[in-house]
Chain A
Amino acid sequence: MALQIKNLRKSFSGRKVLDGIDLSVSDGEIVFVLGRSGTGKSVLLKNIVGLLSPDSGEIWLDNEELSKLSEEKYFPIRKKCGMVFQHPALFDSLSVFENVAFGVRRHFPTISDEELKVAVSDSLALVNLDGIENKLPSEISYGMQKRVSLARTVAINPRYLLFDEPTTGLDPVTTNSINTLILNLSHRLETTSIVVSHDMHCALEIGDRIVILDQGKIVEEGKPQQIKNSKIPLVKEFLIS
C-alpha cells in the first residue's frame, strides 16, 4: 500500500472529528472521500500532510510513519505529497509565474532560471492555461485561480495529490473541466490521488474507490458500482442529490 492510515483520531476542544479512521490507498488509485460538511474530510487531508497532528493513530506513506514527524522532517514528505486547497490560496502579491515557481524554488534550490521557466509553463500547460504568467491572481477568474493552484502543486512533481474540495464554488462547466483535469493528471503524471468532495456524480465517474465519512468514521467504502448499490441511508442521500 502506498498510503495507509491506522486508527486515526483527532479532536478539537473535546469534539471528536476523526474517530478511528482506517484507510489504505494503492499506487495510482483515485480515492474520493465524501461526507457532510464538518465530518472531518479536510482534517484527514491536513493530517496526512502534517498541517495538523493526530491525537493518536498512524499514517504510513511509502513505509514511513508520519504522525510523529517534526515540521522539519515533513519537508521531503510535502515534496512528494502535494495538496490543492479548498481556496485557491494563491499569494496575492505574487504574479501567476511567481506563484507556480514558489514551491519549485524551495524544493529544487539548484534549478536554473531557464529550467524554472520551463517547469512553470509546463505546469500551466497541464491545466490548460497559457499566457497568464504575468497576471496577478486578482486579475484572473476564480476558476482560473483554482487551476493555477493546481499547477502550483503539480509543478513540484508530487507522487501524491490531495485535493480539498477542488470544485467548491465553481460553475458546472469549470467543475467538469477540473474533474477532467484530476483524471488526466493522475494518468499523465501517474500520481495517487485523494479527493475530498461533496460531488458524488464526479466521484462515481472518475473515482477508483469511494469512501463515505460520517461523524468521524468511515461508514461505507467501495468501488463506484458497490457504492451505487449501498443500503446506507446517507449514501443513498448522496446518490439522490
Chain B
Amino acid sequence: MMIFQELGAGLLFLREVFRTILKNSVNRSALFQQIYLVTTQALVTTAFSGFFVGAIMSVQFNSQLKEFGALSVLGGLATSATIRELGPLLIAFMLSGKIGAYTSAELGTMRVTEQIDAIRCLGTDPIEYLVLPRFLAIIISSFILLFAGLLMSILGGVTLGQLVAGMSPQEYLNAIPHFVTASSVFIGLFKCFCFSFLLASICTFKGYYTKGGAKGVGRTVITTALSTMVGIVLVDWFTSYLSRAVGNLWSS
C-alpha cells in the first residue's frame, strides 16, 4: 500500500515539475551552475571507471575472441557493449551514488531547516528555484558524462588491447565503425536518458518531501540510494527488452 502512495505522490510531484517547466522559463544561470557542479563532481570518477571498463572489456573479450581467431573485432565489440549497456549503466550508478545522495541530502536539509518554507514565504516557487535546475542538470550532465566515460573506455580498451593482445590502436579503432551503428548509439542515449530521468525524479522528490530532522535526512539519503539502484536495474531490463523488441520489428 505504502509503495502505491509513494508512487502516486511521486507522479504528482513530477506533474508539478512539468507544469513549472511549461509555465516558467528555466533560470539559466542556476541551471548552468548545477550542470557545472554535477559534471565536475562526477567527472573524475566517471573517467576513471570508464577507462577501466574499457580495459576490462578488452581483457575479457580478448580471451574469448582469440579462440575463434576473431581478435580484429575486439575494438568494435568492446565499444558497442559500452555504448549500449555498460556506459549508461555506469554513469547511472556513479550519479546515483554521488549526485543522487548529494541532491536528496541538500534538498532534505533545506526542507527540515524550513528553508523551503522560507522560499515560499519570500514569494518564490521552490520547485522553480530549487528543484528544476537540479532536475534538468542531472539529465543534461549524464549525457556529458556518458561522452567522457565513453572516450575514456575507448582509451582503456586501446591501452589494454595493445598490452594484452598486442593490437595496435589503429586496428582497435578500425573495428569500431563496423559494430557501433546508429541503433547502438540511439539505444545508449535512450538508456542514458531513462536512467538519469529516473535518478533526477527520485532524488529531488525524496529530498523535497523529507521529514523528521537530521534523522529524516539520513533516511532520505538511504531510501534515495536504494530506490535509484533498484529502479535503474528495472529500467535497464525494461529498456533492453524494449530495444530488442524494436530491433526485431525493424529487421522483420
Contacts and interface: CB of A to CB of B under 8 A. Distances in A.
Q: Do A and B bind? A: yes
Contact of A89 (B117, B123, B125): B117
Interface residues of A, number: 25
Contact of A85 (B118, B123, B125): B118
A51 to B, nearest CB: 5
B122 A51 contact: no
Contacts of A87: 113-114
Contact of B122 (A46, A86, A92, A156): A156
A86 B124 contact: no
Contacts of A49: 121
Contacts of B118: 83, 85, 89, 91, 149, 152
Interface stretch (A57-65, A99-107, A110-118, A186-194): A99-107
A82 interface: yes
Nearest to A107: B123
A51 B122 CA distance: 12
B244 interface: no
A89 B113 contact: yes
A134 to B, nearest CB: 19
A97 to B, nearest CB: 15
Nearest to B113: A87
A71 B128 CA distance: 13
Interface in B105-129: 113-115, 117-125
Interface string B24-65: 000000000000000000000000000000000000000000
A79 B123 contact: yes
B123 A106 contact: yes
A83 B119 CA distance: 11
Contacts of A103: 121-123
Contacts of A238: none
A142 interface: no
Given A71-B125, A91-B118, A149-B118, 11 more contacts: A50-B120, A75-B123, A83-B118, A87-B114, A89-B115, A103-B121, A103-B122, A106-B122, A106-B124, A107-B122, A153-B121
Shortest 4 CB-CB distances between A and B: which pairs? A103-B122, A106-B123, A89-B118, A89-B114
17 contacts: A46-B117, A51-B121, A71-B125, A78-B122, A79-B123, A85-B118, A86-B114, A89-B114, A89-B117, A91-B118, A91-B119, A102-B124, A103-B122, A103-B123, A106-B122, A107-B122, A107-B123
